[in-house]
Structure formats: structure tokens, C-alpha cells
Structure 1
Amino acid sequence: MSIYRLDKLFAPASVAVVGASGREGSLGRTVLGNLEAGGFAGPVYAVNPRFADPTQHLARDGVICVPELGAIAPAPELVVVVSPPPTVVEIVTAAGQAGAAAAVLMTEGLGAGEGSIAEAARREARRYGLRLVGPKCMGVITPHARLHASLGARLARPGDLALVSQSGPIAAAIVEWATRRQIGFSGIVALGDQVDVDIADCLDYFAGDEHTRALLMYVDTVADAAKFVSAARAAARVKPIVVIKSGRHAQTAELAATHTGALAAVDAVYDAAFRRSGLLRVLDLDELFAAAETLSRQRPFHGRRLAVMANDHGVGLLAVDRLVDLGGTLAELSEATRSTLAALLPGAASANPVDITGFTDARTNAAVLTALLNDKGTDALLVVNIPTAFSDPVALARSTVDAVAAQRRGRALHKPVFVVWLGQNDEAGRIFDTAGIPHYATEAEALAGFMHLVRYREGQALLMETPDALPRDFVPDTGAAQRIVRRALGEGRAWLDMAEAQDLLAAYDIPAPPAAIACTADAAVAAARPILAAGGTVAVKLLAPQVMQKSDVGGVHLDLASEAAVRQAASELLAFRGTPEVPVEGAAVMVQAMVRRRGARELIAGLADDPTFGPVVVFGRGGTAAELINDKALALPPLDMKLAETLIARTRVVRILGAFRDTAAADEHAIRLVLVKLSQLATDLPEVRELDINPLLADADGVMALDVRVRVAPVERIRSGTRHPRMAIRPYPKAWERTISGRSGRTFFVRPVRPEDEGLFIDFVRRVSEADVRLRFFAPIRDFNHAFMARLVQVDYARAIAFVAIDGDSGEMAGVVRLHADANHERGEYAVLIRSDLKGTGLGWELMHLIIDWARAEGIRVVEGQVLRENTAMLAMCRKLGFSIRPDVTDPSVMIVELPLRSGPDAVSTRPVLDPAASG
């Protein structure tokens, strides 16, 4: 249900507390006291069957006592439930029947799952559209609305940070810390057991909340990965989000049967999900507090070059060390700045870090700071002060604030300043708080805050990247791959045999040496004979479905140079019967030519299976000790070439992929391509649960998969609707590719937009007239820059779609139509643009039908749009399509068009397409 009625949760007009009591120490009295202390302006109702007289009041002014919710008219918008578990379902039903918008369930002991009180309450709430927070939650705080409907100790200060937590105590601790630091919040919610309102809903709400500039999150677990990732990616595009998660060292990959599975520990998968979603992850509360301090006082900025100014050279060097540890960049000061500093600090070093010494007075302090702020080679400044007997920390704080204010006066862009006043002088802290300058207890905290903003900006830039396209001649043989997997599943097998695994790689054009399967020693010798005759050597490997890791049982014999050696090795392996715990039957052997590639690096690449996020791509250092080395990085599919590049860059093994000594650089493009192909395999074959290429050899000539294991299992759908049954991020919807024709008989290939379509869009807009651009964007646009274009071609298919039409004759882009669903996935806003020279061909009509078909299939109830009143052609088409049309009351030049849709089995259009096979 997403943000449906959440506005009433965070800013209700009235509140009822069910289970209210006058007894000191009770939950009901605590909530009532907090509502009163917070200064909530609306009516507050205390509901308890004991309050038979509706005119009775508790000992608190303004609290109206009633025996039941039905006695309140109009219905309270927010209901807080603190009554015993057996009464909760009845109360939820009454709240829904009365017309309440939201309920906060603070009651504990409601259980979970089918048959529980919590599940019954959820079902009743759904009947009436009542939103539920909890159960077992601390509640909701909205400082701007003076709402303190929680069990927290105090109402937080108003501010522009939102806090979403699955833990009430952690939320309370953050509020207490923030209050002492004069940091405020736009909203706070502790979600408890999340039977309805969850983290994704709150992300959607606060992403659109005008009071919220950044978000803090505490996460235990994610239940609906697809919903969470989609909401997080959408929110992170517009606001910084910092997340902390507990259980970093919990291991559920211990029983994995492949190296890639063992490397995909739970927390590593969460980390990959956070990274892909654009979230900034912190590891502990100290770092979260540092992030809160930074985000509350400093907006994200461009650049990463930091100047360090300290009144002690040693502390300055410590700050530089920590900056380098965090991956930051030390600014190089200009010659002009160095000259200025040399004049201000005679005898002191004028390089970065700048040592102003412990004798510097307030005037010199301000002059040095101003010089660094004016330096064009710096993007931000860290100021560190240590108390000395020769300086006044308060005077230095005031001079710092004055210098910053003077430098910022009249400038649109403010260079950020981070300060550390060691010793925690309270008066200095108040001075910085008043000035809105972030300040920290240590240089490590300050640098962590600085790097949070650097990483956020770089993450945003990465989202705007246009990745390389896959080679146009790469077309996987998905039919052959599906047949391999279905055959194994049909025979009740969980593992592909080696021949099948190699055929699967071949279907996705992943290079592997040829291999022969032998069930006898004679057959093994026959397979090896041509290789030996050519002067090569062979490897003989055990093939047994019961053996997960061949090396663990001596199941690999390498560098065999004679037929006798091959016969002996094959005989030993074929005679292997396993252990009493794991008996082996039906063993065979695989015979492969030894691959000699001087300077080849041993890598690992594959797919792992996560119970929450589905398939995960794994890459790292390969070999038999892959788990011990633990040099790996994970990413959620689907991947493109740019994402594959960043995945590789997060490993240590990337350092030896380049050229060194007499070894040529490995072909990184080929490595990236393997990762993208594995991602595509995960998209096409949800039955593949683990795939392990180890080792994947890489050198200047490309890559070679020497050994591969593949585990398969029937698909258990954990994603709803028409989406991929297991992936957290919706892949490219290939099934919607099709060929259409306009009235002129001209044909167009229509497909969902891809990130690599930026070039197509650039050529397209050049052939759209200024008048048509203005009708589409409501204003003339002359600069179609990279950032603008990236937003058009990078689409989260879970929330939006854009279809591009490609001229069948010229291959040029002819038109585009897009639809963006709201956070509730109930209404979708459309936009369409046709190349000016193709208007009147019927292409716009066909694209509008297509976008309506998509909306129906997605369960969207209303397609709507804004059309300039002068755009008579679009308004005429909307009338023919059945849209209602009305003026926009806020803008007389704009018309609002709306088309209600039906969903269900008959929702998908039966309009014919010229190429049914192309529609997937």
C-alpha cells in the first residue's frame, strides 16, 4: 500500500489512545503524557470501557475520555493501541469501521504468521484501508506537527532529518543524542514487527516529504527485498540516506556447496543491496551519529579534495592518515595560497596539512582559514583545534565562525567546513551549533562525515553513468540453456553434470576448454590420447553428484603426461566410494587438456542464492583457498558493463589485473563481460541457484573457465505479479519488445528503454522542433546535457517504464512514451514525444495504446497526464482513447487528462502485433 494514508500517520488532525489509563507508569498514561508534553494541537481522546461518562476527564486538560472508538465523531485520524493482546483485533476492526486512517500498535505478544493475533489484525486493517505501525513498536514522532505519539522520553527538536528504525531503543538513543547536539528531525518512526507499514513505505513517504532533506535508517532485516530496493533506489536519487544494520557477522553461507555460495555471507549480500540502492552504510552508532551531525548541518557538495588546518602538526598528520585510510583526497594548495600562508605563518610549513601552531591568535586563525577557503584547489576544509595554555578555544571558535560567514556572504555555493574542537568545549559547541557548522569530538568522526558526503555525491554520479552496451552479436541461446536445466530438474537432480554445466556456459558464450566424460579407465585414456600425442598434458577430475568439492577428497589429478598416468588416475577416481557419511555411487571422470597460460590470474566468478534478495553475482580471487583469502565482492543483478567494472574494482585482486614486471595486463573487458553474462543467465534461468566458475583464468588473451559447478532447484515464487520470480531488482522486461506499424504502413520496433540509449536520445531530440519540445516539457530546453539525458534512459522498471520506437528502415529513434507510477502504484503519469517529421503517421496512437496496456498489466488504476491547453492534437487523441479532460485549477494553461483502467485477467490488450515472437 506504500504511502497510502501515511500523511495522517505523521500529521493527524486528531489522536485516540485506546487502553488509556490514569495509572502512573502505565503505557496509556505515558502516551497521553507525551502527547500533552509535545503540545499536540488537535483533540486527544482517551478510550477505555471504564470511561462510561463521555464528559469525564483525566487529570490532564484537553483529553476527552470515551468508552469506545465509536463514540468519537468525526473519527480520530490516528489511533494508538496500548490495550492487552486479546482486545487488539476488535480495536483494529472498530478503528477501521469508524474511518480512522492509521493505527500504532504498541502492544506486545501478538505473535507472528498465520493464526496469530498480528496476522488477524493485519487482515482486518486491510479490509478498511487502515494503516498499521507495529505491533511492538515505540511509536511515531513528528516535531513539525508537535506529535509525540510514542514511548520515547522526549519530543525531538524540529529539523530536516528523518529517522526510520526497526528498533525502538536505538531510535530513542539517537533522539537523546541529537537533542544534546541541537539536531532536529522531520519525523521519527520505530516500526516494530512491520505487519503493514514497513521500511520501504517510510522511504517512499520521506522521499516526497518537503520537511525532510536526508534520512537515517536502522535495519535488522528486510522482508520484501524487491519493494525495499525499489523504494531505496527512488529515494536515494533525491536525498542522502544513511543506513546501519546489525548482525554483520552472522553467517548463513556456511552450508553452501560452492565457493561462490560460501563467499556470499548474509551481510555481504545486504551490503551489495545497500550499495546498489545508493545508500550510505555505516558500521556502528558512533559513525551514525557522525553522519547525523554532518547531514543535519551540511548539504552534499561536489568534489573530494580536503584541506586540513590544525594547531598541531602531529594531529594534522593523523587527520591526513585517516583521510587516506578512508579513500579521501588531500588537496594540493596553489602557489598563491602557499605564499599567503607563508606570510601569515612565518617559519611554519605552508603545505597541506597546515600547521597554525598552538600560539595562533583569533585574527591569524581567521586569516589562514579564509585563505584556504578561497583556494580553488580545495573542495572542503577540516579545522582541528587542541586546547593549549596559549590560546582561547572560544575566541578561536568565534573567529572560525566569523571567517566562514564572511567567505560565504553573497555566494551561492558554500565550501563546506568541518570542525573538531578537542576537549569538547561546551561554549564552542554552542557557537558552532548556532552557526550550523558540523562539529565533532575527534578528527576520525569528522573525516567519516566528510567521506559520507563524498561517497553520496560519487554514488549519484555513478547513477548518471551511461554504461557500455553489450556486444550486439551476443545473443545467448536461452532455449538450449532452459532445456539443460529442465532435463536435470525433470530427473530430480540438484546438480548439473560437468558436460551439462559446460554446455550451459557455451549457451552464454563463456569460454571453457573442451572436456570429455569417461565412465571407464579405457575411455579416459582414449579421450586423453590425442592431447598427449600433440605433446600436451591432461587433467583428470572426479565427477560424482555426492562430492561438492573435488579437491577436498583428492578428486583432481593434474599434469598427467602419459597414458599410464591417465589410466592410473582414472582407475583410482572411479574406484572412489566416498566416506561412510557420504557414500559415492556412479562416479565418472572428466578429462581435460591442461591449460597453459603464463601470467594468467586465478579468479572466481559465479552466482549465489540469497533467501531474501535472490540471485547474487560474486567475483573475487579464485583457487582452492578462495574462502580463506576472502577477497570477494558481490552485486545484485542485473548488471551492465559499468556495474561489472565497479564490482571488480571493489576487490583486492584488481591490483594484479594490470600489467606488472614482464606480465601483460589481463583483459578486464573480457572479465566484465563474463559477469554481465552471468547476470543475464540469472535473469533468464531463475532455477539456477548456485553457479561456481573456479578458477576463471584471465590474461591478456581473455578468459577461460576451467571448472564449473551448477546447482538447480524448482522456482518458488517470492516475487508477486508479472515480475521476475526471484530477483530483487526488476530486469529488462524483454517480453514487451514488439513490432508495430502506423497508418502509413511504416514499421517500428518498440522496446523498453535501456541505459545505453543515451546516444539514440541525443540524435532524436535534434530532430524534434522547439515547439514540440515545449509542448512536451512545458518550457523550451536548449541544453540536453548528460545528466538530463541519463534521467531519461535510466529507468527503474519496478516503478516506471519508457518505450522507444526504432524506425524499421533507418534504425533511428522515432518516438518515446513513458509512464511513472506513484508510490502507491495506483496512478501513473504518462508522457509521449514523437519526432516532428513523423507526426501524423499514427505512431503516437500506437505508443499510447502500448503504455495503457503496460499500466493495465501492472495493476495501475488510473493513467493521467498534464497537457498544455494549446496542444490540441494530444487532447484530441486523449478524447478518442477515453480520457476525461478538465482544466487544472492551479494553472489555466494546463489540462488534466485521466483514464480509469480495469485490471485482472482481461487487463492485457489483445491488439495484434506484427511479430508475435518479438513480444516475448
Structure 2
Amino acid sequence: MSIIKSPRGEQSLDVFFIPKTIAVIGATDKENSVGKTILMNLTTGTFKGIVFPVNPKRNEILGFKTYPDLKSIPQEIDLAIIVTPASSVPGIIRECSEVGVRGVVIISAGFKEVGEEGVKLEQEILAIARKSGIRIIGPNCLGVMSPLTGLNATFAAGIANAGSVGFISQSGALCTAILDWSLQNNVGFSAFLSLGSMIDVGWGDLINYLGQDPQTKSIVIYMETIGDARAFLSAAREVALNKPIIIIKPGRTEAAVKATASHTGSLAGSDDVLEAAFARSGVLRVNSIADLFYMADVLSKQPNPKGPKLTILTNGGGPGVLAADALIIGHGELTDITQETIEALDKVLPPTWSHHNPIDVIGDASPERFEKSVKIAIEDPNADGLLVILTPQAMTDPTATAEALKIYAKAGKPILASWMGGASVEDGKKILNEAGIPTFSYPDTAARIFNYMWTYTNNLKLIYEIPSLVYDEKVETPDRKLTAEIIAKAGSEGRTILTETESKNLLRAYNIPTVPTSIADSIDKAIEDANKMGYPVVLKLYSATITHKTDVGGVVLNIDSPEAVRFAFDTIKNSVTTKVGAEHFQGVTIQPMIKSDGAYEIIIGSSLDSQFGPVLLFGTGGQLVEVFKDRALALPPLNATLARRMMERTKIYHALKGVRGRAPVNLEELEAILVCFSNLVVEQPRIKEIDINPLMASADGLIALDARILLHDANVDLTTIPKIAIRPYPTQYINEWMTAENLKVIFRPIRPEDEPEMVRFHQRLSEKSVYLRYLEAISLNQRTNHENLVRNCFIDYDREIAIVAEMNNSKTGLLEIVGVGRIRKSIGFNSGSIAIVVRDDFQGAGIGSELVKRMIEIGVDEKLSLINADVLSENENGISMLKNLGFTIRESAKEGIVHAEFLIE
């Protein structure tokens, strides 16, 4: 049995881009006014819809009949443009609700940017809009352009050229500057709009919309604030798999964040968190407005490089060196050209050529010499891309050289060109651009763009890569009961800081190895414990209030005798009493002195970001952690691959692999610790900040020597703190069920590691099952290609949940996927569509019905109002099953298909 998902259908944001009727509320003919400019932009262009001016004081404006209010307009209004004072807007939104307006653009300013009164106005507007289903862009925005349909609902001086770039900006002023730039540089747009204060429609909404728009090939964003971080990341990650998303965001500089209980707070700057978020979602961030559009152009013309190595071919030594400098400074690499390539070039170049990369073909290079050299260079197996630089010398022919090189536009590797100079190279640049080879006036710009291309590829690689499986019993079964008891005890005592012992016990509950630790409140107890543990030992301050023990003289190392224990106890007690007061001394902890020979100190931590919620940190640890600042940030949750990629971004990672005769650290075990730590952060929202510093790493093993954990106050409402930006694995949907034949089925959400098993699942589907599922014959190769399975396995649980049914194979003893159910939220609507398919040899066992029941359960949990599915009319078993489960069946507009709906009360 199989059920298919319904088609895209109408989208809630269509009203902003293809409205049939528009009301301009606040229209006027006053010179240089926003109301007049918007009305003229709508009525003097190529927009085919009907425009109704609204102004209670006028009967006619610019020759158009004018209406006193929305209720007086004789037609239903799709889109309202509001340019009246801020205080009047709530009343207008209420009127929009009464007459059925579906979308509103609020141009007016005077909202949260002016203070508390403006915030109240926004809240009032949003409450009315939410109740009536109105979508709002703005307030305080330039408006919306749809150049492909001629819609110009802005107060800009003109409309953008039609094209394939979707441009979204928070800044209206920047929009007008970009508009002027684009007209001068002949850049075209499929959509062009500013969002202003984003009280409703935000980044996620528009990325979703433009991601599904076939006319939009790339999305370019000027961002000032992130808004709803989860909605942005959810949309960006899915759309980035198909279309480039390129962002410029100001605000890289920042004041240092002061640490509270953990080092992580001082290391995780907000802009670095944003970088981690962009990388996690496949988004490319650039540093200049020009680079925004360079990248949109380049990514539409050339393939992504598979690595960071660029070959530079030039007829001028100096420009080649400039390009090489820019490449390396930007973390790209020069191709190490092979001996075979050198020998091939020797046959076509003068003896004086450079014999290395950059390849200097000498200033008198003819078009033929350029062409032969490019052919050899692009075929070098070490090269990930090629930059060709031409400087206009007396014997150079820029136009003929461009003609000779244009055949390499589709060489399979990215090829960029820098035709340096003025009028003499313009024809050559035009030839290359039209052929699909992007050109740049300066070679360092071209090198920078190549580095961006590689960054973009690397970001996507994180999404496409199959993670290794570390979901063994160790990772999946933490002691959540013990964790809850530790946190509850601290809360009942009014504490927000866990003691070192509590912190280590909590880590152990999540299977993170920690050094054995005991507590002593007297010298005799300290000596007794040290004798049992064996020397040498370490004594540390035990305190419910002090976390950075070294700051108050609270750590003594290498204690090798009972007398030394006595001295260390007194030393710590006296130092703490002198520096902060005796009330902060509750005793000491004793732990064995771990040998540090050949070991590395690592920090693993988490702190709370105001936009993205919990953020993870990994890097070089120890007392000088803030000095070295060798760290990488990532958003939880992690899998093994994401953990490894996080580690790879640090300098210490290279040492952990083994250097200078030292044996390597067990990196797989370190990955597992990071995944366990990530699960801890995700599952325990009462934790505000946490450090493991240091985690000692050596070939002998990994062990946490110290830990600090800061909790939210027990009275804090957890719904008020920043939520985790990427929805974690929904463990609540893991459960068991027995078939009528008493066979156990495990139902659980799909995960990225399931890709290999999903290949085997598809191999066991019959052609009939495939046809019922997809409405057409789709080959096994199409269904199981890596990119397709990534989309189906590495899903965003905030927008889609797939439940797999697993059963044990009696012959192999391994679990196999025998069915999959999927529920996907409809973008812009409070509904979801479902899809299920069961392996042929298990059809009729009731698994399909159980999967649908679970889809309904998820729909209820997600607070959806409707679940729907389209079913082939010939699928009698599926239709009957849905009826029995409470679905209403009706005819669909598509022949041969019936539509099923389940209304959630």
C-alpha cells in the first residue's frame, strides 16, 4: 500500500507577487510623497492587475476613482499597501480582516524603531493578522517588486530588470542602492523586496517561497537581524540543496562576551555563531555587496569546485602573484601541478615559462598558446579550478584569445577569467561572459571568488555527506533519571552552579568518561581518600559557589604523600578564605593525578546564544584557553560527521592525528564524546552553560578532568529562553508494536545514518509499489542516488518527520527497514501531507495502518489542523484503510486520484 503527497498548490505568499487586485491605502497626488510614488509605480508600468486608491478625503487621484475605505471597493482585494501613519495601521488591519484581504505590505514607519509604543502597535497588528490569516510584510519597508510580472509596489524610482535572482533585504535604503547598481550592471531579478521589521513574513517564509519558484535560480540576502533562527535554518538548509543562498550581514565586530561560569561564554561571539549556523545550513556568506552578485552570477554559470586547489595561468607574472596571494590569504591552495602537466606545457610554451603554478605563458602569448596551455592545465588531476589572466600587451589579442577559450566554459571544472584593462578587452570579456565564463577586472577578485566557491561547496558537503553510525547503546541510553535528580537537587537548594562532583556525575550519566573523584570536608578524610586512590593525587576546592578554582588558589597538583595532602588542604582553605571568604570553602575533592606526558588538553563546552540557543564549542583547552582561542563552534544536535567536521576546523585536530612521533588519539571515540555531549545539551534545557576543561586526550584514552555547569534558575520558565535552533532527533516517537503474527516492529524517526539501509529498502520494492508511491515508473538508480536519499534521510524535523518501521531479520540478526511513513508540513498553511510505503513482503501485516496512526499522532503534537493525502483511485486497500482511520475521501481535480483529509479538532 502506498500514499503520495499532494502537489504544491497555492502558496500563502503568492498574494505578494501575483495579486490580481491591490488597494493603496494612503494614496495621494502630493508631490514627492510615498503614497503618490507607489500609486504611480503600480499604474504606469506593465502590471496587469487592478489598483484601487484609498483616501477618505479625495474622490479622485491621478485620474483614478478613489475610495474612502476598503469596504467601499466593489471587488475583493488580494493585497493592501499601507502608507498611513503608524497609529492608524491597527484599525486598517482590522478592516482588512473584515473584507478578506489576504496580504498586507506596511510601508509606514513609527513602530518598534521608535520605542515601546511602537512595539505595542506591532503586537496589536500581529494579533489581528494571526486571527484572520493575513500575511504581513513590514512595517517600515520599501515594499515588493516582482519584475517578471511588472509589479512595483515600492516607492523606489523605478523597477528592477527581470531575471533569475531573488533579492531580499532588511534595509530599504540598501534596496534602492542595489537597484541603481543592478540597472547599471544589467543584473536581473525574479523578486526584489525589503522586509523592514519582519513582524510576520521573515527569512524562512521567503526562502521557502523563492526556493519553490522555478523562475528563481539563486537567492541573495542583505541581513541585519536573523529573526526566527529555527525558521531561517530550516528553510535555508532545504533550499540550499537546490539553489545557492548568498548572504551579506554587517556586524562582524563585537564587544567581548563576559564569561560567567564557563570559558565558552567568552569564546563564542555572536558573529562566530552566525558563521557556524550558515555553514550548517549550506549558506554562503560574503563580505561585500559586489561579491553578492558576483557569486550569484558565477554559481549560475560554473560548476562547484571539488576542492580548494586553483591553477593560475597568466601572461603577466605580477598579476599571477597577486592572484596567488589573494587565494592563499583566503585559505585556498595553489594546485601542485603534476610532472606530466609540466612536461606537456614544455612542448607548447617557451623555455622561459615559469615551470610552476602560477603558470606564466609569457607576455607575447598568442591565442593559440593560451588555448593549448589552458587545455593542458584544466586536465591536471590535481586542479580543482582554473583562473586565466590576460594583460593587454602590444602583441596580445584579447578578443581572439577569448574566442579560443570559450570552448572550455563547460570543462567540468570551474574556469574564471580576468581580462585586465579598459576598452581594448571589453569585446573579449563579452565573449567569455556570454559563453558562461565569468570575467573580472582584477585577478585578486577572481581568486577571492574561487575561495567563496570552495567555501560554498564545503558547506554543502556537510549536508550531503553520509555520517558514520555512532548511535550505539553508549550514545543512545544516558542515565536521564540521575541527570534529573542532580539538576533538581541544585534547584531545590536555590543553586544555579553545580559542584565539580555533581558536574562529573552528570557527564558520566551521558557516558562521558571522567576522572574518579571523592569529596572530603576534613584533612583526615582527604588523607584517607588519597591513600585509597593511590599517589600522586590532585586536591581541588570543593565549593557550591566558586567555579574557576585556580583564580582563588583552589588547585594543588602532584601530591605524593599524606603530609602533602595535609599541607595542600590547609593551603587551599587559607587561600580561599583570604581571597573570597570562608563561606565559599566546603572542603576539597581528591582525584588521581593523570599523567600529561604526550596528552593534549581539550575544551568542550556549550553556552546560550540569544538568537540560536545552545551553541557547542570544541578546541584547545587548559588555563590559557582564552589566550589561544583555537576553537570551532557548531549548533547542536551533532552526528559523527558533524562532530568530525567541527574538530577539523581547529589547529589542535592536526596534533590529535599524531605529530612528532606521538601516537594519534582515538578520534572515533572523541567523535562519540562530542555526540554524547551534544545530546546532553539538547536534552537538558536547564543547563545554561557547561565546560569540560580540560578533557585530556592521548593515545591511552580520553578523560574529563574538570567540569563546570551553570543552570538556569529553577524559577525560570524554559519557554522564555532561546530555543535550540535546529530541532533535535524526536526520541518521543520511538516505540514498539506487535503484528497480529506476534512479530515485533520498532517505529522510530529516520536519521541520516539510515541512507545505506534505505538503499536496501528500495531494492526490495516492486515496480507496482514504486508506481503507486510516485505515480510513475522511477528507476532504482533515481530513487537511491545519494542526493535524493540525503533529502529523505537528513531531514529537518521541524518541517518534516519520517517514521521508519524496523524488523529483525531472523537469518542475519540485523534490523531492516520494512516501511516508511512521512508527514510534511505545508508551507504557509497549518496542515500537513502524508506519504507511506511498505515493503512488498510485509504488506497486509498492518504496518501501513500503524504508520498512518503515527502520522496522525505527530500532526496532533505539531498542532496541525488538517492532514491530507492524495491516493490513486485504484488503490482500494489504501482508500479503505484511510476511511477506517477517520479520513474523509473526495474526488480530486486530478484524474485517477482521490483526496483524503483528516480534520484535527
Counterparts of 1:67 and 1:690 in 2: how far apart (Å)? 57
Gap change, CA 1:787 and 1:437, over 3 Å in 2: closer
1:546 touches 1:583 (CA, 8 Å); kept in 2? no
Among 382, 385, 389, the alignment partner of 1:380 is: 385
**SS of residue in 1 equivalent to 2:661:** coil
SS at match of 2:871: strand
> Scaled by the length of structure 2, what TM-score is found?
0.91
Q: Structure 2 vs 1, CA of residues 15 and 718 (structure 1 numbering), >3 Å: closer, same or farther?
A: farther
Alignment of 1:97-112 (within 5 A): 97-111=98-112
Q: CA deviation at 1:255?
A: 4.0
CA distance in 2, matches of 1:50, 1:383: 64
Matches within 5 A, 1:170-319: 170-251=174-255, 253-295=257-299, 297-298=301-302, 300=304, 305-319=309-323
- Distance in 1 (CA, whole Å) between partners of 2:787 and 2:470 is 22
Matched, 1:766 2:763: yes
Deviation at residue 182 of structure 1 after TM alignment: 1.6
Task: Judge conservation of contact 1:290–1:440 (CA < 8 Å) in 2.
Answer: no
**Cα–Cα, structure 1 residues 169 and 423, in superposed 2: closer, same or farther, change >3 Å?**
farther
Establish whether residue 14 from structure 1 lines up as the match of residue 18 from structure 2.
Answer: no
Specify whether residues 423 and 719 from structure 1 end up closer, same or farther in structure 2 by C-alpha distance, changes over 3 A only: farther
**Does residue 676 in structure 1 map to residue 675 in structure 2?**
yes
The one-letter code sitting in structure 1 at the alignment partner of 2:743 is R
1: distance between equivalents of 2:339 and 2:574? 77
Q: 2: distance between equivalents of 1:632 and 1:239?
A: 30
Which AA in structure 2 matches 1:288? L
Structure 2 counterpart of 1:23: 30
- Does structure 1 retain, via aligned residues, the 8 Å contact 2:244–2:296? no
Residue in structure 2 matching 1:421, options 405, 419, 422: 419
- Which of 850, 857, 881 is the equivalent residue of 2:854? 850
Counterparts in 2 of 1:862-901, with a 5 A limit? Answer: 862-885=866-889, 889-890=893-894, 892=895, 894-901=896-903
- Which residue number in structure 2 is paired with residue 467 of structure 1? 467
Instruction: Name the CA distance, whole Å, in 1 between partners of 2:828 and 2:49.
Output: 27
DSSP 3-state at the match of 1:572: helix
- The answer to whether the 8 A contact 1:695-1:706 is kept is yes
The alpha carbon displacement at 1:407 in A equals: 4.6
- Counterpart in the other structure of 1:83: 84
Distance 1:302 1:160 in 2: 25
Task: Report how many residues are paired.
Answer: 881
The answer on whether the counterparts of 1:294 and 1:450 sit within 8 Å (CA) in structure 2 is no
For residues 583 and 824 of structure 1, the distance between their equivalents in structure 2, rounded to whole angstroms, comes to 60
Quick check: 40-49 or 156-165, which moved more?
40-49
- Please list the CA deviations of residues 839-871 of structure 1 after superposition, one character each: whole Å capped at 9, or x if unmatched: 222222222222222222222333333434443
| Farther off after superposition, 72-81 or 668-677 | 72-81
Aligned pairs for 1:240-639 (under 5 A) are 240-251=244-255, 253-295=257-299, 297-298=301-302, 300=304, 305-331=309-335, 341-347=345-351, 348-349=353-354, 351-369=356-374, 372=377, 378-391=383-396, 396=398, 398-407=399-408, 415-423=413-421, 425=423, 427-428=426-427, 430-470=430-470, 472-474=472-474, 475-531=477-533, 534=534, 536-576=535-575, 584-639=583-638
> What is the SS of the residue equivalent to 2:539?
strand
Q: Deviations over 1:630-663 (max 9, x none)?
A: 1111111111111100000011111211222231
- 1:703/1:407 CA distance change after superposition, 3 Å: closer
- Partner residue in 2 for 1:49: 56
- Tell me, yes or no, if the aligned pair for 2:160 and 2:189 is still in contact at 8 Å: yes
After superposing the two structures, state which structure 1 stretch, 687-696 or 662-671, moved more. Answer: 662-671
CA deviation after TM superposition for structure 1 residue 507, in Å: 0.8
> Does the CA-based 8 Å contact 1:619-1:633 persist in structure 2?
yes
TM-score, scaled to structure 1: 0.89
Write the letter of the residue equivalent to 2:480.
T
- 1:911 aligns with none
Name whichever of 350-359 and 96-105 sits farther off.
350-359
Q: Which moved more, 1:455-464 or 1:611-620?
A: 455-464
Give 1:157 shift.
1.5
**Counterpart mapping for 1:808-819 below 5 A:** 810=810, 811-819=815-823
Distance apart, 1:753 and its partner CA: 1.3
> Where in structure 2 are there 5+ consecutive unaligned residues?
1-8
Would you say 1:782 and 2:780 are equivalent positions?
yes
Match of 2:159 in 1: 155
| Range 194-203 or range 247-256, more displaced | 247-256
Structure 1 residue 543: deviation in Å? 2.6
In 1, distance between residues paired with 2:401 and 2:892?
51
Residues 170, 194 of structure 2: 8 Å contact kept: yes
Give the counterpart letter for 1:754 in structure 2. Answer: R
Give the structure 1 partner of residue 3 of structure 2. none
User: 1:402 corresponds to which letter in structure 2?
Assistant: E
Deviations 1:655-707 (A, max 9, x none): 21122223111221222121111111112211111111111110112211111
Structure 2 counterpart of 1:914: none
Counterpart for residue 4 of structure 2 = none
Instruction: Read off the aligned partner of 1:477 and give its amino acid letter.
Output: D
List per-residue Cα deviations over 1:391-419 (Å, max 9, x = no partner): 3xxx51x33543354456xx7x7654322
Q: Provide the C-alpha distance between the structure 2 equivalents of 1:191 and 1:388, rounded to a whole number of angstroms.
A: 49
Equivalent residue number for residue 66 of structure 2? 65
Deviations, residues 290-329 of structure 1 (Å, cap 9, x unaligned): 3244245446465655332222123223323433443435
Range with greater deviation from structure 2 (421-430 or 144-153): 421-430
Deviates more, 1:730-739 or 1:373-382: 373-382
8 Å Cα contact 1:383/1:418 also seen in 2: yes
Q: Secondary structure at the match of 2:481?
A: helix
Q: Report the Cα distance in structure 2 between the residues aligned to 1:434 and 1:66, rounded to whole angstroms.
A: 50
Which secondary structure does the structure 1 equivalent of 2:327 belong to? helix
Q: 1:64/1:579 Cα in 2 relative to 1: closer, same or farther (>3 Å)?
A: farther
Quick one: distance in 1 between partners of 2:371 and 2:860? Answer: 63
Q: Could you say if the C-alpha distance between residues 516 and 454 of structure 1 is closer, same or farther in structure 2, counting changes exceeding 3 Å?
A: same
Tell me by how many angstroms 1:897 deviates. 2.7
Partner of 1:913: none
**Structure 2 letter corresponding to 1:203:** I
Change (3 A) 1:688 1:405: same
> CA 1:545–1:779 in 2, change beyond 3 Å: closer, same or farther?
same
SS in 1 for 2:96: helix
On the 8 A contact 1:688/1:710 being kept in 2, the answer is yes
User: 1:138, 1:150 within 8 Å by CA — same for their partners in 2?
Assistant: yes
Q: Which residue of 2 aligns with 1:821?
A: 825
Q: Deviations over 1:161-190 (max 9, x none)?
A: 111222222333333333322221111221
Change (3 A) 1:237 1:744: same
Which residue matches 2:643?
644
Report which stretch shifted further, 104-113 or 81-90. 104-113
Return the offset for 1:460: 2.8
Higher relative contact order (CA 8 A, sep 6+): 2
Change in 2 beyond 3 A, CA 1:702/1:180: farther
Counterpart amino acid of 1:843?
Answer: I
Classify 1:194/1:252 alpha carbon distance in 2 versus 1 (closer, same or farther; 3 Å): farther
1:806–1:297 Cα change, 3 Å? closer
Separation in 2 of the partners of 1:570 and 1:883? 72
Q: Is the 8 A contact 1:686 1:715 kept in 2?
A: no
Q: Which sits farther off after the overlay, 166-175 or 262-271?
A: 166-175
Partner secondary structure for residue 703 of structure 1: strand
Distance 1:83 1:656, change over 3 A: same
Q: SS of 1:145's equivalent? A: coil
Q: Cα RMSD (Å) of the superposition?
A: 2.9
The one-letter code of the counterpart of 2:677 is L
5+ residue gaps, structure 1: 904-920
Partner amino acid, structure 1, of 2:213: D
CA distance in 1 between counterparts of 2:339 and 2:261 reads: 60
Q: Judge conservation of contact 1:3–1:201 (CA < 8 Å) in 2.
A: no
